[in-house]
Amino acid sequence: MQPSPPPASEGPRLARLRALGVLDTLPDRAYDGIAALAQTLCDTPIALVSLVDAERQWFKARIGLPLSETPRDWSFCAIAIQTPGEVLVIEDMRHDPRVQHHPLLREQPDLGFYAGAPIVTADGLALGTVCVMDVRPRRLSAPQVDGLRHLAALSATLLEQGAQDVETLKRNEVRLNRTVALLERKTVEQQRFIYMLSHDLREPVNTINNFSSLLVEDHQAELIPAAQRYLGFVREGGRRIGRLLDDLVEFAQLDTHPLRIEPVDPAALAQHVTQDLAPVLQRCQGRIEINTALPVVMADAGLLRVALHNLVSNALKFTRPGIPPVVTVGASRSGELDQIHVSDNGVGIAQEHQGRIFGLFNRLHNRRRYDGTGLGLPICQRIAELHQGRLTLDSSTDAGSRFTLHLPPAGRA
């Protein structure tokens, strides 16, 4: 992409920017605070309050960048001001066709992410942006995007009214603080939910399981057949609730899990998963075939192991009657993504049901025949998303299923 052309309102825009007298002024605590809040809100190493002049972009406030200005040709903010009503988000600079050939990426090829909210005056002139950048691709949540928008509005207020309109400044600060508080509150609530699942709910489930086991071990001979049958229902229900709690805790913890991205050998992980599932393989007389030439990927090894375990476990579970399951773990490369495949010879999934399988608690089969909690595939999908990847399915009822994890290749995650 060539440098962004000036907007249609370039003449009035530049006149307003220069009339404000803010260019090349000393640092200001208010703008520094906006940059700091943007960095905290979006958890990025770089945050800027950028003003786009005729030949340059100048930073009224900056965090994580030693330069006070850069050529306008390098400016992603010059792209952002083309659409004053929108927050420009470029999740992966290296693969986004809008900016793949941008001059800045030739100078700084390690940049991966940009988000900029235009600073717009009351009469619709975009003077610059409040923006954040990172060296790795990433996504922003809706509250984070809204937070950037509020910060840009606060910057516009400062530019037009200076520090004199204290009430307006306070109102914008309150709105921003509410956004930050909402994010913090959601994090606390999620942590409480995880604690409740792992402690408060698990204790009565453990009591049910322990005492039902004691009844079987110590008093089974004293129970009439009907009581033994009912006790079996209780034990199976307790085990099912325990598995559901395990999966719920695992799912809830994904977004609070700090990613540790490192080179990972999927073949080695698949070998570990095979060892973990050895008792299952023995019971179902199945086998797992692993392609030892799987490419190294940049991933969190623990999370990738969880995803492979769930996919392989599902493949061993949904089998055809009388046919031992065969699960194949392989790999390929498509464009800029590494693909890890888990294929099986099982019952497959009909086309009309494939859109439902990644939803929470969605089950397509009878629980008595195929046990499960309905959380395994949503967990796998979320793990893929946390790696800036995705999970896809190719399946039919006569050929089994093939799940594919699409992940950034080594050196690009």
Whole-number Å distance between alpha carbons of 168 and 187 = 29
Domains in the chain: boundaries = 10-185, 201-256, 259-413
Backbone angles phi, psi at 108, to 5 degrees: -130, 75
> What pLDDT is recorded for position 163?
36
DSSP 4: P
Nearest alpha-carbon partner for 342 in 382, 370, 315:
315
- Partners of 264 in the beta sheet? 297
Q: Are 267 and 294 in contact (CB under 8 A)?
A: yes
Q: Which residue type, as a one-letter code, is found at position 100? A: Q
For the chain, list residues with pLDDT below 70: 1-5, 100-101, 105, 107, 162-170, 187, 189-191, 193-202, 236-257, 352-374, 409-413
Q: Would you give the end-to-end CA distance of the chain in angstroms?
A: 23
> What pLDDT is recorded for position 237?
67
> What pLDDT is recorded for position 182?
81
CATH topology of domain 10-185: Beta-Lactamase (3.30.450)
- How many CB atoms are closer than 10 A to CB 245? 17
Reported as a single tens digit per residue, the pLDDT across 3-56 is 566 777 889 999 989 888 889 989 999 999 999 999 999 999 999 999 999 999
| Displacement of CA 16 from its chain's centroid (Å) | 40
Reported as a single tens digit per residue, the pLDDT across 58-115 is 999 999 988 899 998 888 899 999 999 899 999 988 888 777 667 776 767 778 899 9
Which superfamily is assigned to 259-413 in CATH? Histidine kinase-like ATPase, C-terminal domain (3.30.565.10)
Whole-number Å distance between alpha carbons of 85 and 125 = 10
Nearest alpha-carbon partner for 40 in 159, 132, 153, 155:
132
Q: Answer yes or no: same fold for 10-185 and 259-413.
A: no
Angle between helices 376-386 and 225-253 (to 10 degrees): 10
